[in-house]
Amino acid sequence: MMELSSEQLREKRYADYRMEPDAWTAPELLERYFVPQAGAVVDRESFYRDVKAPTAQAAIKTQLAAIERAIGNEPSVQPS
């Protein structure tokens, strides 16, 4: 999400829980792994535009660093 263009991200698919390839879009991946509210959904109309905004990129970096620290790794991406 940090390096792909919006159009590339729209086309990319990710493996699901069973590691079935090409199962989920980026919004589906986020809904299943990172959206904390029960029943919340990612707005697919604005996701691919908004994910490239500086505030979204900063939030992604912060989340990635927190995940890496939680699993005992030194963050590879520094939050802004």
Stretches in the chain below the pLDDT threshold 70: 35-37, 39, 78-80
Other CB atoms within 10 Å distance of the CB of residue 3: 6
Place of tokens 């992604």: 60
Asked if 57 contacts 49 with a C-beta cutoff of 8 angstroms, the reply is no
pLDDT digits (tens, 9 = 90+) for 24-46: 999 988 888 876 667 677 888 89
Percent of the chain with pLDDT over 90: 41
pTM: 0.65
Q: Are 79 and 61 in contact (CB under 8 A)?
A: yes
Listing DSSP states for 47-73 in one string gives HHHHTTSHHHHHHHHHHHHHHHHHTT-
